[in-house]
Structure 1
Amino acid sequence: MSTTTTTTTTPRNTYGLGYEASQVQHHEWRTAENSTAYLLPHLRRAVEQNPGLRVLDVGAGSGTISASLAAYLPEGELVATDISEAILERARAHAAARGVRNVTFRAADAYALPFADASFDVVHAHQVLCHLSAPVDALREMLRVTRPGGLVAVRESDMRMWCFWPETPALERFHRLAVDVMLANGGQDKGGRQLVSWVLDAGVKRDDVEASFGTWCYSTPEDRRAWGEAMIGRLKEGRMRSKALETGLATEEEIEEMVKAWEEWIRTDSATLGIMNGEVVVKKA
């Protein structure tokens, strides 16, 4: 596979939702165990063959996945990138608080990673491509910095595939709003189901792709609180709220109804939310 980055005429957007606490709070629920189970068997085998594995985590955000992935690399290293220096500071603090020493952090654009060709054994991205207007370009860049024989692992939610209870009108309205805001920001609402097509468009052969789907389930009181409070935060402040109001996607009254619905959802013992995620592991030729 060529290591030359392919140019595109597709406009490239920036991360539209921002890094306010309301936006990143529920990201910090994520760990390697609950969000990269599809990758971990591959990672363990790779470490057995090469204990000094070098891993890149693209769009790492708050770094909770990065820090927990690093635990699987006792003799290796993980480099975590994000376009925001502010969120990388939060990620550094998280890693330091947990005594993780084999992670370094670097500001980087997913469309132009500041690394040489074939620099990493494994390149990982989680819920990154769905925010991009040109996800295939970012995949080509991830492939470029992966060594031949190495792995690219990507997981993306499919925003059309949410399953929640109670199925109230206000929560259904929130789901539609979340999709509409994602699209208004230039992102992708069907990333989970499109992953295989994206990697093929990036130049990967189908025989080199392992595809799967995985789920998140928010049902325990702690999980409901983590998700529900984050959604309430998005509705009360931050870019989701401002985007919804400035584009007419929702009114103040509708937003308040959604806030009350999430508050009730948190308190409801039978409440649950399932989200489907597409997953691919690519072996670079």
Structure 2
Amino acid sequence: MAQDQTPGEKPGHPPAQATLHEVRTAENSAPYLLPKLQSMKESNPHLKLLDVGAGSGTISVSFAKLIPDGHVTGIDVNSTILPRARAVAEMAGVENIEFQQGSVYKLPFADETFDITCCHQVLIHIGNPWDALREMLRVTKRGGIVAAREGDYESECVWPELPELGKFHTLMAGRMSSGGGTPTAGRQLVSWALKAGVERSQITLSFSTSSYHTPSERASLSKGLCDQLRGGSLREIALKFGLGNDNDLEEMAKAWEEWAKREDASLAMLHGEILVQK
């Protein structure tokens, strides 16, 4: 555990999960933030943006492309993922970006450093999300924006309803809870922001969905999840906390492979989104 890491904060993503996450961009994972970013860029092309929990950097890099005269900093508690993030930026030819290690509970920046501070699917995994939001607010300039988008696992819908996929849903919710996270994070964002000291008038709330239904989307999701079930951290956590045995995990993996091959297969989940005007 990193020195400034709080119990319940995940230590990052193993390669299989990082690969699964690399389909994420600002366009498909932060569309609620983009209109505000564009309007802020018109008055200040030199925006400074902090992406908290950047992982392998694909969202951070796409933000950097959107503000070519600005600068993006990506931060992640897991230092081992940062070389991948830097490689993603280099392959994209993006230079107005940097990545560094750090905890969302103790961001290594002075007060009021960034115009925009955002996170994607970070608060859902940690034990004290209101403290994380409070820290994100601290490093954001007055007049700036704090943004967060988080999933809500109780809203997940999948077809066909294979029994093993139902077990997988229970496994994922149990995994989050065992680490101190909150599977229903998306619906709780406003309450967490209020607990962080924000006035309700400062908060804009919206909801959107993510979905997987094309052949390529199904194949990518299935492969990433099967890798995790057969040899990644998801398997380790499931066995450690008694959330499933070897046979259970293999049956879930086979069900995802079957799901990916079905022409009628689909999966969707609701996400909560907040913009906090500081």
What's the TM-score once normalised by structure 2's chain length?
Answer: 0.96
Question: Which of 14, 23, 26 pairs up with 2:17?
Answer: 23
1:137 aligns with 2:116: no
Give every structure 1 segment of 4 or more consecutive aligned residues whose post-TM-superposition deviation is greater than 4 Å.
none
- Counterpart residue identity of residue 204, structure 1: V
- Counterpart residue identity of residue 220, structure 1: T
Task: Indicate if the aligned counterparts of 1:209 and 1:282 stay in contact, CA closer than 8 A.
Answer: yes
1:238: how far off? 2.0
Question: Which of 176, 180, 202 pairs up with 1:186?
Answer: 180
Question: Which of 188, 191, 195 pairs up with 2:189?
Answer: 195
Structure 1 Cα separation of the partners of residues 138 and 9 of structure 2: 22
1:164 equivalent in structure 2 = 158
1:5 equivalent in structure 2 = none
Per-residue CA distance 1:56-109 (angstroms, 9 max, x = gap):
111100100000011110210011101112111110000000101111111111
Per-residue CA distance 1:99-133 (angstroms, 9 max, x = gap):
01111111111100011100010001011111110
Identity percentage of aligned residues: 47
1:18: how far off? 4.3
1:38: how far off? 0.2
1:226 aligns with 2:224: no
Alignment RMSD: 1.2
1:122 aligns with 2:122: no
154-163 or 11-20: bigger deviation: 11-20
Structure 1 Cα separation of the partners of residues 134 and 101 of structure 2: 19
Task: Indicate if the aligned counterparts of 1:129 and 1:191 stay in contact, CA closer than 8 A.
Answer: yes
1:15: how far off? 3.9
1:12: how far off? 3.0
Task: Indicate if the aligned counterparts of 1:155 and 1:192 stay in contact, CA closer than 8 A.
Answer: yes
What's the TM-score once normalised by structure 1's chain length?
Answer: 0.94
- Counterpart residue identity of residue 233, structure 2: R
Question: Which of 75, 79, 83 pairs up with 1:89?
Answer: 83
Aligned length: 274
Unaligned segments of structure 1, at least 5 residues = 1-10
Task: Indicate if the aligned counterparts of 1:17 and 1:240 stay in contact, CA closer than 8 A.
Answer: no
1:76 aligns with 2:70: yes
Question: Which of 136, 141, 146 pairs up with 2:140?
Answer: 146
Structure 2 Cα separation of the partners of residues 169 and 36 of structure 1: 32
Structure 2 Cα separation of the partners of residues 19 and 281 of structure 1: 26
Structure 2 Cα separation of the partners of residues 18 and 86 of structure 1: 8
1:98 aligns with 2:92: yes
